[in-house]
Structure 1
């Protein structure tokens, strides 16, 4: 079933009109329509276009579960009219087990359970002790899937049972994951994506140079490390935080050594400022949450001094970020002399924005925008990723998230026209958000559309979308779950418990056999091992 097709569940226009809340003034977030979209995503096969993401199942699950959590009120705020949660308590238990299937025996998570343990390594695997003769082999675990896995475990916490929050990381190989994370750091302080073996050359850090990996590394460190001192039970060797800070603030292409608009070799430039801004605060002991709950005023920066003092040209970075919004203009209509004219993909790159000379001129442009009859027109403010890029839903997140963590979202973003653009131009009629106006919804942009609304904290979305943490990219309540779960995991290791030993990672073999048909199709080598 395609996401774009009607599913017989109220996505046709007549029924949708009946369900629209008449008391709300357009534009508004149609929560019921969005929940139907996410219901299709979680309970039905995804469209064929997602087949290329087979190795990124944890990423897809993160977008889906995080979005459903954002749209689901906490138990204390639910009423008789509140629909039943899309993910039941029992489903959360099963999904947590599924997430743990992706954990690699030596630490870290893989994007899909079929990559958990390379088949050739079973030749040296002891099925009695469940250990490998090559304990340092990293397999196919990667840094982004590891963060997604940890975030998912926290998002799937049972909110009906407050005591269950501290148990969400039980089964996570904390020690192995932190040691594996340390092995991904290069000499210059940067991080790669995974460890790989090159025949004849040995092991190397794969994945290229991408500032996102630095951010992900600090997020994983904050989630798992805790305040254990060297020599205490549960202490794990740390990666070099000073080298990472130096790479982030001095060697990064978004710092003043070059220009803040320059892109990294492997990532669009809008990701680099976001990742740079977020890579520093989690390094501070004793690992404070990336985003405090109260939204700070412009005179009270949201981040500790390390972030502001380490970026050598902080005003330049803020100026570059604040220059990303522009007045969105409707694309030109097709030529009138051609009824058969079909838009080409290149048409989307035609100028569709009015970029102000300076950020301060944006308000003037907004006030000058009028209709054909001279009446004031409600303008739409969109965001791009770099100069001359067109509008995109996710750019609002990358720019807005960075500004939020710098404490300048409220003072430098005109929220009302930006919210209007998101809801009027990007919100799709079947639910979800598209990449650009008129685009079909997809998991990635649909999630970030909701994340932005949670970040803006508009009164009209209060009770519809949970407040969102721009540091860990989860609802703010989930940050508290992570803190409790980390404390429990550290406590178990201090007591010599089994909670952090990763004893569940081999369930992936059993899961694979079930999907293949069980005993009838067991590979011979599994039978010979007595598994």
Structure 2
């Protein structure tokens, strides 16, 4: 009788594993070959693309302490890291901050005030085209490109960064209401203004840049810069909680998971300690710190947690394609779904019960949990990160996310056969969603993966080892400034003309450069 029961048992479902080799092959293609033409519109956001690529490769590359003789050589070599670091520094604007691409370091009107003899701006506070987003990407990239086999070299990853100028640039982007804009712009006849919309992402980015660079420098000491108004920023964020207890750009807009993550992460970074804030433990339950500001100031914290816990849902397969559509090549679009592709529980606490009921109804024991970013929207890979990261910063990731069902959906529905992750089931991979798919896997963690993905920091959006690099590099940069050895303007290494000559391949300098004073 016992044998008969075993014969009728459902076979155990195979656990879906992350195909690291396939993903690295995808990222290698992104590094070594020109990106597809659809990325041409991101020409001014090269640092963002580089951040997605380098961060993803780092997540998939074991640290030196965990490498074995069988471990393949890192996809980004030590020589490549040095070259890429130099490339990142070429995006720094002379007055502080970074531009999205090196061709935007000097807008055309900047040359009106540029002194070719001293290679400086006669008008040092010129707005330029530096922006807050590229500045954070640049700093994160420099830390990600640290030589992990040489800790002393890792301490120097911020060498060449105009720390003082960047912090002043950051302060200049704050509005009177506490919010942050994207960049400074000059409007003829109206003077300078803070460009960019009222976007919670800029508020988060401002707190991340501040945490990375500011340190604990006392007023009157070398390298001290007046801080931006942290209390005004906190008020702006806290006042942006919406009627349904999510977060948006302001309290009157629709709540959005991306804004919720940015609001929560920004509050944690405002009072995050400067050192020893990222656990080396592989457990995803570890959070950087329990932020007093986050847990005591949000108007309705239980309501926010409830709103975030309502973003996961049981994923239902879409209807099959019609007879005139090839099932092997057809990609489902949102408008193709006559019925919703999700099944919500009466309350978030009933999700596990609903999972069990749905699995039983379907006749199998594996159910997929997807995430959306707004009410009644369909599944999207990036919202696994925006929701998961927000819950992790609140210390609620483990208790409110069905880890196994979520991983199954990512690896069985979103993981592409050429590597990377798509936006939705069946869609091709792209840099943005491929990175966030790995980021949430690094946050969730799973012993069955055998450490294939590094642990990820929910606040700074880099691997945990990289947080330690940032802490050491910040300390070294500040010490250099105190000793009078800091590089204020980045030096010759940041000379865009010199970079162009290097890319040209050497040889004689063009004669026309002499007319410009070079």
Q: Structure 2 length normalisation: TM-score?
A: 0.91
- 1:206-233 residue CA offsets vs partner (Å, 9 max, x unmatched): 0110001010000000000010011111
**Residue 76 of structure 1: SS of its match in structure 2?**
helix
Deviation, structure 1 residue 375? 2.8
- Give the counterpart of 2:471 among 483, 491, 503: 483
Structure 2 residue runs without a partner (length 5+): 1-12
2:481 corresponds to 1:493: yes
Aligned to 1:423: 411
Structure 1: unaligned runs, 5 residues or longer: 1-23
Structure 2 counterpart SS, 1:232: coil
Compute the TM-score of the two structures, normalised by the length of structure 1: 0.89
Is structure 2 residue 343 aligned with structure 1 residue 354?
Answer: yes
The counterpart of 1:436, out of the listed 424, 434, 443, is 424
Match status 1:452 vs 2:437: no
Question: Over the residues paired in the alignment, what is the CA RMSD in angstroms?
Answer: 2.5
3-state SS of 2:425 partner: coil
Q: Structure 1 CA distance, aligned partners of 2:265 and 2:383?
A: 16
Separation in structure 1 between the aligned mates of residue 215 and residue 120 of structure 2, nearest angstrom: 27
Distance 1:161 1:288 in 2: 20
Deviation, 1:514, is 5.1
> 2:177 maps to which residue?
188
| SS at structure 1 position matched to 2:422 | coil
CA drift of 1:262 comes to: 6.2
Which residue is equivalent to 1:8? none
Kept after mapping to 1: 8 A contact 2:246/2:308: no
Distance 2:287 2:142 in 1: 33
Alignment match of 2:381 (pick from 379, 384, 393):
393
Distance 1:40 1:354 in 2: 38
Cα distance in structure 1, aligned partners of 2:436 and 2:147: 24
Report the 3-state secondary structure (helix = DSSP H, G, I; strand = E; otherwise coil) of the residue aligned with 2:193.
strand
1:474 aligns with 2:462: yes
Deviation at 1:186, TM superposition (A): 0.1
Quote the Cα distance in structure 2 between the aligned partners of 1:318 and 1:523.
64
Matches within 5 A, 1:298-377: 302-336=289-323, 338=324, 345-348=333-336, 350=338, 351-370=340-359, 375-377=363-365
| Distance in 2 (alpha carbons) for counterparts of 1:426 and 1:343 | 12
Secondary structure of the 2:59 match is: helix
**Correspondent of 2:46 among 57, 61, 84:** 57
- Count of residues in correspondence between the two structures: 501
Deviation at 1:529, TM superposition (A): 2.2
Greater shift, 231-240 or 478-487, is seen at 231-240
Match of 2:223 among 218, 223, 234: 234
Displacement of 1:432 in angstroms is: 0.4
Aligned pair in 2 of structure 1 residues 415, 505: CA closer, same or farther (>3 Å)?
A: same
1:91 aligned residue (59, 80, 85): 80
Q: Which residue of 1 aligns with 2:396?
A: 408
**2:449 is the counterpart of 1:461:** yes
Partner of 2:6: none
Question: What are the within-5 Å matches in structure 2 for residues 109-128 of structure 1?
Answer: 109-128=98-117
CA contact (8 A) 1:197 1:203 kept: yes
Q: Does 1:378 align with 2:366?
A: yes
1:209 equivalenced with 2:198 (yes/no): yes
8 Å CA contact retained: 2:284, 2:443: no
Q: 1:339 to 1:61 in 2, by over 3 A?
A: closer
CA deviation profile, 1:221-270 (whole Å, cap 9, x unmatched): 000001001111111111111111111112x1xx25x3334643799711
Return the alpha-carbon distance in structure 2 between the equivalents of residues 348 and 522 of structure 1.
Answer: 58
Partner Cα distance (1:271, 1:106) in 2:
31
Contact kept, 8 Å, 1:334 with 1:343, in 2: the verdict is: no
The reply to whether residue 507 of structure 1 matches residue 492 of structure 2 is no
Residue 101 (str. 1) matches residue 101 (str. 2): no
**Aligned partner of residue 195 in structure 1, secondary structure:** strand
Say if 2:278 and 2:287, in contact at 8 Å, map to a contact too: no
Q: For 1:143, which of 132, 135, 138 is the aligned residue?
A: 132
- Which of 441-450 and 344-353 deviates more? 344-353
1:179 to 162, 168, 190: 168
CA contact (8 A) 1:349 1:390 kept: no
Q: Which residue of 2 aligns with 1:264?
A: 249
Pairing 1:277–2:264 present: yes
Deviation at 1:513, TM superposition (A): 4.7
C-alpha distance in structure 2 between counterparts of 1:460 and 1:300, whole Å: 21
* 1:453–1:300 CA distance, 2 compared to 1 (3 A): closer
User: Any conservation in 2 of the 1:296–1:407 contact (CA below 8 Å)?
Assistant: no
Matches of 1:67 and 1:363 in 2, distance apart? Answer: 31
SS of residue matched to 1:473: coil
CA–CA separation in structure 1 for the residues paired with 2:446 and 2:75: 24
